Amino acid sequence: MLERLQADLKSSMLAKDAPRTMVLRMALTAYKNEAVAKGLGPQGLLSEADAIAVFKRLVKSREDSIEQFAKAGQNDRADQERAEIEILKPYLPAMLEGAALEAAVKAAVAEVGASTKKDMGQVMKALQAKHGSAYDGKAASQLVQSLLQ
């Protein structure tokens, strides 16, 4: 992941793509900060799961900003955040969405034999064990709640 990020940064710099370069520099900094926090040093390699977690945090931060900018009527800033998300998304694994997410949630509900909202934690654990970070936890949580009413 680090090599890919560095190569993409270099190519965006050569192409003089300032917005992309800015986002990739920020992502590289976040990656290196996480490596330092894990005790690996700035040149350390994060595990795939840790690297994905870094990119998920970056995307989540931008999604929160979009919401705030939209509330404040600053649509130009919200659009800028959306563009940054599009630059970061290729670094995330393919996410379960729509019907695929619903099928995964239903399978997890059936797997643990959940019937009430008290079983939600077990369903989410089963979903996490099977699909790792390849789904939106908020959307999955809402689906589980709707199925366990």
Question: Each residue of 60-109: pLDDT tens digit?
Answer: 899 899 999 989 999 999 999 999 999 998 888 777 777 877 888 888 88
Whether 122 contacts 114, CB under 8 Å = yes
| Domains of the chain with bracketed CATH | 2-91 (1.10.1510.10), 98-147 (1.10.10.410)
Give residue 61's identity as a one-letter amino acid code.
Answer: S
Mean pLDDT of 12-23: 93
Whole-number pLDDT of residue 14? 94
Whole-number pLDDT of residue 99? 80
Q: Over the stretch 30-47, which tens digit does the pLDDT of each residue have?
A: 999 998 988 888 788 888
Give residue 5's identity as a one-letter amino acid code.
Answer: L
Whole-number pLDDT of residue 19? 92
pLDDT tops 80 at residue 21: yes
Whether 90 contacts 52, CB under 8 Å = no
pTM: predicted TM-score of the whole model, two decimal places: 0.69
If you write DSSP's letter for every residue of the chain in order, what string do you get? -HHHHHHHHHHHHHTT-HHHHHHHHHHHHHHHHHHHHTTS-TTPPPPHHHHHHHHHHHHHHHHHHHHHHHHTT-HHHHHHHHHHHHHHGGGSPPPB-HHHHHHHHHHHHHHHT--SGGGHHHHHHHHHHHHTTSB-HHHHHHHHHHHT-
Question: What CA–CA distance (Å, rounded) separates 116 from 118?
Answer: 5
Q: What distance, in Å, lies between the first and last C-alpha atoms of the chain?
A: 41
